[in-house]
Amino acid sequence: MILRRLAEKLKQQHWTAIGIDLLILVLGVFLGMQVSNWNEDRENNHKAAVFTARLKADLRVEDWSYQFLITYNREVLANANRAADSLEGKSEMSDEAFLVSAYRATQYKEPARRRSSYDELISTGAIGLIRDQNLRDTAMRLYSVATFDNLVREGKQSRYREAFRMSLPNAVQRTLGKQCGDHYIEPGDNARIHGVLDYPCSIGLSAQVIAESAKALRSNAELLPLLRLRIADLETRLGDLTSNNRTLMNNLHAIATEKP
What angle (nearest 5°) sits at the alpha carbon of residue 61, between those of residues 55 and 63? 95
Residue 36 lies in a domain: no
Confidence grade of residue 6 (pLDDT, cut at 50, 70, 90): very low
Residue 104 lies in a domain: yes
Confidence grade of residue 8 (pLDDT, cut at 50, 70, 90): low
Which H/E stretch holds residue 69? helix 15-87
Residue 27 lies in a domain: no
**Residues 116 and 51 sit within 8 Å (Cβ to Cβ):** no
CA gap 144, 250 in Å, rounded: 17
Is pLDDT of 30 > 90?
Answer: no
Is pLDDT of 34 > 70?
Answer: no
Task: Characterise 194 by phi-psi region: left (phi > 0), alpha (psi -120 to 50), beta (else).
Answer: beta
Residue 8 lies in a domain: no
pLDDT digits (tens, 9 = 90+) for 171-221: 999 999 999 999 999 999 999 999 999 999 999 999 999 999 999 999 999
- The dihedral through the CA atoms of 218, 223, 228, 234 has a sign that is negative
CA gap 147, 141 in Å, rounded: 11
Q: How many domains does the chain have?
A: 1
Residue 92 lies in a domain: yes
Range of the domain at 103: 63-257
**Residues 106 and 165 sit within 8 Å (Cβ to Cβ):** yes
Residue 232 lies in a domain: yes
Residue 28 lies in a domain: no
Confidence grade of residue 42 (pLDDT, cut at 50, 70, 90): confident
pLDDT digits (tens, 9 = 90+) for 62-95: 999 999 999 999 999 999 999 999 999 999 999 9
pLDDT digits (tens, 9 = 90+) for 107-164: 999 988 999 999 999 999 999 999 999 999 999 999 999 999 999 999 999 999 999 9
Task: Characterise 187 by phi-psi region: left (phi > 0), alpha (psi -120 to 50), beta (else).
Answer: beta
Q: Measured in whole angstroms, how far is the alpha carbon of residue 233 from the centre of its chain?
A: 19
pLDDT digits (tens, 9 = 90+) for 217-252: 999 999 999 999 999 999 999 999 999 999 999 999
